[in-house]
Amino acid sequence: MCLAAASPWRCCRSFLPSSAALPRRFLRGLLGGPAPTRPYPPSATNLLRRCIPFHRMAQYWTQPSLDKNKALVDYLKQYGAVRTDKVAEVMETIDRALFVQEGTPYIDSPMPIGFNATISAPHMHATCLELLKDHLQPGMHALDVGSGSGYLTACFAMMVGPEGRAVGIEHIPEIVASAIENVQKSAAAPLLKDRSLSFHVADGRLGFPDAAPYDAIHVGAAAPDIPQPLLDQLKPGGRMVIPVGTYFQDLQVVDKNADRSISIRNDASVRYVPLTSRSAQLQDP
């Protein structure tokens, strides 16, 4: 359950002089205002060049609500979060609005689902699906740790199909019950009925051995370190995507090689809620 990706403006702020703010004419140019009558100084020009890509992404994150699920997916395509037809198809099929009870479902932002939990922003769902898509082929097994609203688990189930297995685990029973209700209204409902898609109350740090090993594991909350039970339940040739860290977090891509050795790379800086116990999660934030 992602709170938000790391702020794009953090990068820009690191380039700003520590003494005074930039001249107003430079800020107008950065934020899309009228062009200044005089050229920027070289330092300001370099800063503008480095910040423009992040400014465009910030505009993307703060766009008004989109009124249709397909329009949201098209928007994610435009900005490169959705890169393949396979991911686009499943995100168009599973309507996000069915999994967001409060707030605006089609804006690219995390939304609360109760019990100090959130549904991740659509761009993070797209990112994780793109990273895992080759490990979500028909017949494969997928585990969604901290499955929350059930949205991403439903996407996994659609990708692995009725001959595969998609499992969502969450340690708060009320969230599990809500996820099941959400999925029953979605295109993934038949997979829930035939139990190729299932949700369980369990401690995500321990995984779910009953359906292991898994070709794909997604963890929707940040762990200080990669839990060993999840590594043990990852199939040789499989992949796990997990945010790792406390205040500063990286979305790590963990591959288990055929010889059972582990390869890890960082994909992005992110900000997720912590992977913790039920009692800790239910405490006031």
Burial of 62-92, coded b for 16+ CB within 10 Å and e otherwise, reads eeeebeebeebbebbbebebbeeebbbebbb
Cα 172 to Cα 187: distance, rounded to the nearest angstrom: 24
Cβ pair 109, 72 in contact under 8 A = no
**Nearest Cα residue to 95 out of 195, 190, 182, 4:** 182
Is 7 assigned a catalytic role? no
Q: Which residue is listed with tokens 């996820």?
A: 179
Report which DSSP code applies to 203.
-
Report the run of H or E that residue 78 belongs to, with start and end. Answer: helix 69-78
Tokens read off for 171: 């340690």
Residues 6+ apart with CB under 8 A from 25: 36, 38
Cβ pair 116, 210 in contact under 8 A = no
* Candidates 109, 120, 186, 196; catalytic one: 120
* Residues classed as catalytic: 120
